A and B are shown apart, each in its own frame.
Chain A
Amino acid sequence: AAGVIQSPRHLIKEKRETATLKCYPIPRHDTVYWYQQGPGQDPQFLISFYEKMQSDKGSIPDRFSAQQFSDYHSELNMSSLELGDSALYFCASSKGTSGTDTQYFGPGTRLTVL
């Protein structure tokens, strides 16, 4: 079965640079979620989209923005990168927006900020 695809899998950036992470949800899934997971931490919710509209917002810094496109893929844009942004970034997708809809996670993008 098709899974969530994320690219790139690894990304190395310098401080103050920008980064763009991409997520391709499972086919026919209409909701995308972004999570950030620091070393030894649990995943923290950043933002979600349903039918190309922002659905919920979590602890996403103002330096970050995201959107969902007409083909349902999503991009997370990160500017003025800081050392503390080094983390695993996961995208998850679900079909529907009910709190009971199972979220399936992609393999993640490991961002390292030097």
Chain B
Amino acid sequence: GQSLEQPSEVTAVEGAIVQINCTYQTSGFYGLSWYQQHDGGAPTFLSYNALDGLEETGRFSSFLSRSDSYGYLLLQELQMKDSASYFCAASGSARQLTFGSGTQLTVLP
């Protein structure tokens, strides 16, 4: 089985940088994905790390350390529209995603 832990809430101001951490305990771990979800909306894919290191996609970057069972999502130049829930999700030999409990990001003006 898999379990993932991430902070429940993070608050930051517009233009700032915020990092959302995720630690996981898994068997048969393949990689770590990040999804954004606005209230009542669909999880939207942001990033995926299969190998150690940093993946950059515009204002969003994601990092993975397999030896530490740890990853993070970095959001730069925060905008009000970035206020949402962010989920880390692990994929493994069983191909379904196991999600963390989600981090509610609030961006203040």
Q: Which residues of A contact B (CB under 8 A)?
A: 31, 33, 35, 41-45, 48, 55-56, 58, 88, 90, 92, 97-108, 110
Contact = CB atoms under 8 A, between A and B. Distances in A.
A43 B99 contact: yes
Given A35-B97, A58-B96, 12 more contacts: A41-B101, A42-B87, A43-B99, A45-B96, A45-B97, A92-B43, A97-B95, A98-B95, A100-B31, A103-B45, A105-B45, A107-B41
A99 B42 contact: no
Interface string B24-66: 0000101101010000111111001010000000000000000
Nearest to B87: A42
Contacts of A92: 43, 97
Contacts of A56: 94-96
